[in-house]
Structures are given as C-alpha cells and as structure tokens.
Amino acid sequence: MVGTLERDRVELTVDSNEPIVARHVPDGATVTKGTLILEQETSRIVAQLEQSEAARDQAAGRLAELRRGPREEAIRETRARLDAARAQTKNAKSEYDRVKGVFDRGLSTAALLEQMETTWRAAEADERAVSEELAAQLEGTTVEELEQAEAALEVAEAATRQAAIQLERTRLVAPVDGTVDKLLYQVGERPAPGATVAVMLDSARVFARIYVPEHLRAQVKPGNQLEVAIDGVDTAMQGTVKWVSSDATFTPYFALTEHDRSRLSYLAEVDLASAAQLPSGVPLEARIPVAGK
C-alpha cells in the first residue's frame, strides 16, 4: 500500500483586508506555538477601538449620573424657579382682577381684558411645568431610565470588545508547534477577509497517508498494526491505523464487476510516532505483517 508521510495542515486566515506590513518568519521555519508569523496594518482598527472606548465611557458616565440622581444644587435651583413662577402667577392674577373690575365699570376694553387673562394663564402653565420638574427630581430616576442606560452601556462594551478582538487578530501567531510550510502573501499585499495567508504543518502528529487496494480493505481497520517502509530509511517502522475512509477514491459510473473492483482504493491514515524527524511528503509503503515473518 503506497503513500506519503504527512502532517496535519493548519491554515491561518485573516479577518480584515488590511495590507500586510511585516512577515516575521521565512518559509520552512520551525516555530513554537504563539510565535508571531505576520502582521497587518492597524491604523483604521485602532481608530475604531478608540471610538468604541469613548462611547463606552460616555454610556458609563450617563448610567452613573442616573444612579446618583439629581444633584442637590439642581433641586435648589428648581425650587427657586418654582417660587418665581408662583409669584409671577400671583401678580398676573392680580393684574387680571384689576383690569376685569375696570372693564365691569365700562372703563376698559375687552381686548385688554383678554390680554391680561392670557398672561395669567401662561404664568399658571409655567408654574405647573416647573412644579412637575421639581417632582421628577425629588422622585429620582425611574426604573425604565436605568434599564435603558444599562442596555446602552452593554452595547458600547460589546462594540469595544469586538474592536479589541479585530485589533488582536491583525497579528497572526502560530496556533501550534510546527513548520511554516508557506506564506502566501508579501508585504504590501491586501488579502481578502477570510483568505488563507499562511499554511503550517503541525508537528504534534506524523502519519502515513496510504491508499488501500480493494482486495486488502477488509484486512485494514482502525487499531491494526502495519509495517511502514519509508524511502531513505533503512529499517521499517511500526504504525497504527488511525482511520480508513468508507468511500472509495475511485467509483466507476458502471456496474462494479470483478475487474472494476480491482481498481478501487480507500484512503487511510497510519500514525507513525517514530517518524517525527522526517520531512513531509516522503514516499513510503505500508505492509500488513505476516505471522512468522
């Protein structure tokens, strides 16, 4: 059963289309988890983060203000305005009564009486408005106002976290220990969001990817031991079958005659812990051990 030595491929993708500003490792470099691979431009995302932080601080200040309630100075100011409005209403009422008495004696016009009544009614309306404002201040912040302010703060905090994540993801680091197989973009290039910009080979697992012929498929199962001969290595290695595909790699469109079945093969993976130092892609052969040999 022929195949090649392989490692798991890990593709590193970007979230934004910002240009690449730095490549920190060359192709083929061996790196550890957390090593910085490449960076993107951050100016626009930093500005978005600062804007989100300012909106968050504003929402937090508004919530704190509502929780604290009106300041004592504001309440005293409103009381003074209410006293002034009451005095204004009293004066307007007195002036209206005086003009009405003159009008009743036939010494004043109806237009002047209507004007004085309008002035009195307006003063009463102003007094009621200031009185309602004072009552609201004395009552304090309503539950609905607090809930709205708390929701606004949560929205602002979520936007700040999202901007911080976007900024963090402009720095691509190695997610595993392994080899940088290929960096797909050069400095100055602008990858599309979601594009793969680097490919790594995970060193945690080395395995043989082999093709099992149809006539051997029943003998190759997960957990079975196989002998694996790798090109350039003098002695065969022992490997454990990890996985075997249930679907053939070649499926003819016509009926599976005996001749056709011989052309089928099944992809399989065989773990090879002892091949950790060998490069990927090396050709190999896997054999089913024969008892007594």
pLDDT value at 288 more than 70: yes
Rounded to the nearest angstrom, the gap between the alpha carbon of residue 202 and the centroid of all alpha carbons in its chain is 26
The DSSP secondary structure of 276-291, one letter per residue, reads: TTSPTT-EEEEE---T
d(CA 237, CA 279): 15
Region 236-246 average pLDDT = 92
- Residue 259 one-letter amino acid: H
d(CA 44, CA 249): 47
Give the pLDDT of residue 250. Answer: 65
Of 121, 133, 41, 120, nearest to 82 (Cα)?
Answer: 133
Residues 6+ apart with CB under 8 A from 164: 49
pLDDT in tens, 167-213: 999 999 999 999 999 999 999 999 999 999 999 999 888 999 999 98
d(CA 72, CA 266): 82
Q: Which residue has the higher pLDDT, 256 or 215?
A: 215
Cβ count near 109 (within 10 Å): 11
pTM over 0.85: no
Give the pLDDT of residue 260. Answer: 54
pLDDT value at 255 more than 50: no
Residues 6+ apart with CB under 8 A from 82: 127, 130, 131, 134
pLDDT in tens, 25-79: 999 999 999 999 999 999 999 999 999 999 999 999 988 877 776 667 777 888 8
Secondary structure of 108-142 in the HEC alphabet?
CCHHHHHHHHHHHHHHHHHHHHHHHHHHHHHHCCC
